[in-house]
Amino acid sequence: DTGVSQDPRHKITKRGQNVTFRCDPISEHNRLYWYRQTLGQGPEFLTYFQNEAQLEKSRLLSDRFSAERPKGSFSTLEIQRTEQGDSAMYLCASSSTEKLFFGSGTQLSVL
């Protein structure tokens, strides 16, 4: 069990560019979550997958955001046409029960 892995750890991009983050959950976990955390705030829910099905999406997830989980394994979160307000830590978590296991996150900075 290597835990939840997220790649990259840090991403610096220019406004208007597209970025994609990857999350590798714990292998036996069928549930996968994406959260966003800004300084001084708690994590905010973005979206939830059960296996390959995306079952919930937050209103925070604008049309510029898309997430996938092909074959119910790893997941990707893409942000198109990034804006400065997208700068945040993007957290992935996986679970098979109520207990979530979080990755270390991807810190996005939009210049």
Using CB under 8 A as the binding rule, the residues of this chain from 4 to 23 that contact other proteins are: 4
In the block, residue with structure tokens 């549930």: 31
104: which 2 tokens?
């270390």
| Long-range contacts of the stretch 41-44 (C-beta < 8 A, 24+) | 43/91
Indicate which single residue of 27, 28, 70, 99 sits in contact with other proteins (rule: CB under 8 A).
99
Indicate which single residue of 62, 104, 109, 111 sits in contact with other proteins (rule: CB under 8 A).
104
Binding of residue 101 to other proteins (CB under 8 A): yes
Tell me, by CB under 8 A, how many residues bind other proteins. Answer: 25
Binding of residue 41 to other proteins (CB under 8 A): yes
In the block, residue with structure tokens 């979160």: 77
Q: Which residues contact 17 (CB under 8 A, 6 or more apart)?
A: 81, 82
Binding residues for other proteins, rule: CB under 8 A, are: 3-4, 31, 33, 35, 40-45, 48, 55-56, 58, 91, 93, 98-105
